[in-house]
Amino acid sequence: MEYDWREAVDEKGMPLPEFRKDFTLMLRKIHNPRPLYVHSLDSIQPLRLYELNQKYGFDLEVGELVRPYGRGRRADMFFHLTGEVDNETRRFDVTTTISFPNEGDGILPVPRSMLGESQLLLGQEAPTDGYEPTFDMRVGIISDGRFTGRRYFPTMDEQAKWEGLWFRTHTELDSETGEVISARHGKIYSHMSPVILFGFSLETPRQKMRWEMEFIYFYAPDDSRSLEFNGETLVPNGNLQGVDKR
C-alpha cells in the first residue's frame, strides 16, 4: 500500500522521520463463493429504453427486458421512463425510476467506507433493512440562470462516493408482523465510477430517441442473502467482460 501524505515529506519529497501515521485496514473474509446470475450491460450492449411513460420489466435471470421488448419472462425489477422532450428546441428533462414488483422490495446505495476497496464486492451478504422502494436517475438540458447545459442527477461525483447498490426483490412479508419471510437479493457494482452510467439522446435522422444505461449486476439464485461470486454466471450467454470475479 502506498499513501501520499504530503505533510510527512520535506521540500525534496524525502520522508521526515518524526512523522508517522496509523492505518486501520478492513479485510473481508470469503465465506461462500458460488454461481450467481451475473451480467454486464456495457457500451456494446447497454440497456436501451425508447418510450416515455412506459414501465419496462427486466428479467435478471435472462439478462433482458421482458416481452414484448425482449426475451425476459418474469420482471425482477422495473424501469419507468418519464419526462418532457421538445425536439424543436432540443431541450429535455427525463427521469428513469427503478422500482420492484412487491411491497418490501427496494434498493440501497452503499457509501464507501474504506480508503482502498476490498475486492470482495460490498461484503458477504445483502443487508436486512434500509431499502428504499425506488431509485431515480435524471438527465436534462437544464438552465439555472447562469448555466445552460446537460445535468445529471445523481451526479458523477455523488456516484463516486458509493461502493455500489444492494437491492431486494420478490419479497414475501408476514401478514401479521410485516417481517420478511423470503426475498431475492442482488447488487449493482462497477469497479469504475459511476456505479450506473446513464444518459438520454434525442431523436435524429439515424436513430430513435432513447435512454441508455450501463451497469453490472449480481443476483442470487435463491432466497439466501449470500452474494459472493465464484466467477460462474447463471445468465445464458451472460457478459462477464469487465466483471470483477468476486
- Contact assessment for residue 127 and residue 166, using Cβ atoms and an 8 Å cutoff: yes
Judged against a pLDDT cut of 60, whether residue 115 lies above it is answered with no
pTM of the complete model: 0.84
Identity of the residue numbered 230: N
| Amino acid type, 6 | R
Q: Is the pLDDT of residue 26 over 90?
A: no
Give the rounded percent of residues in the chain with a pLDDT score beyond 90. Answer: 62
For the chain, how far is it from start to end, CA to CA, in angstroms?
A: 21
pLDDT band at 124 (very low <50, low <70, confident <90, very high): confident
Neighbours of 26 (CB within 10 A): 10
Establish whether the linkage from the previous residue to 127 is cis, with ω within 30° of 0: no
How far is the CA of 49 from the CAs of 95, 143, 147, 209, 212, in angstroms?
A: 11, 25, 28, 9, 7
What is residue 112's predicted lDDT score, i.e. its pLDDT? Answer: 76
| 187-242 pLDDT per residue, tens | 998 666 689 999 999 998 899 999 999 999 999 999 999 999 999 999 999 999 98
